[in-house]
């Protein structure tokens, strides 16, 4: 998330860039996109997350696509079975 995102969305956090600064941070941020953090929690497929982030513009979808290309598609079916969370 960039400082422009924070400002444009009126988020209640300090205006700053919240971007990964290392490959490890990028991987954690990528993995985090597949968990809904809702109640009840669900796992989001690549297509579901891409559709969700599209409301913030095509540049966000493109950036997510770059992450998918770089890190691959996680085995969410296995996680869904292990944790009992739905896969949407």
Note the pLDDT tens digit of each residue in 48-62. 999 999 999 999 999
CA 36 to chain CA centroid, Å, is 9
Note the pLDDT tens digit of each residue in 28-82. 999 999 999 899 999 999 999 999 999 999 999 999 999 999 999 999 999 999 9
Nearest Cα neighbor of 46 from 61, 58, 59 is 61
What was the pLDDT predicted at 46?
A: 97
Contact 87, 74 (CB under 8 A): no
What was the pLDDT predicted at 21?
A: 95
**β partners of residue 42:** 86
- Strand, coil or helix: what is 35? strand
HSE-up of residue 67 (Cα within 13 Å, Cβ side): 23
Average pLDDT of the residues of the chain: 96
The DSSP code for 54 is: G
Query: What are the domain boundaries of the chain?
Result: 20-87
């Amino acid at each position: 998330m960039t400082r422009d995102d924070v400002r444009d969305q009126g988020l209640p956090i300090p205006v700053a860039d919240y971007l990964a600064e290392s490959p490890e941070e990028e991987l954690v941020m990528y993995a985090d996109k597949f968990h809904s953090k809702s109640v009840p929690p669900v796992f989001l497929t690549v297509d579901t997350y891409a559709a969700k982030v599209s409301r913030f513009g095509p540049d966000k979808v493109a950036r997510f696509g770059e992450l998918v290309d770089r890190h691959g598609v996680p085995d969410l079916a296995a996680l869904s079975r292990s944790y009992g969370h739905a896969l949407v």
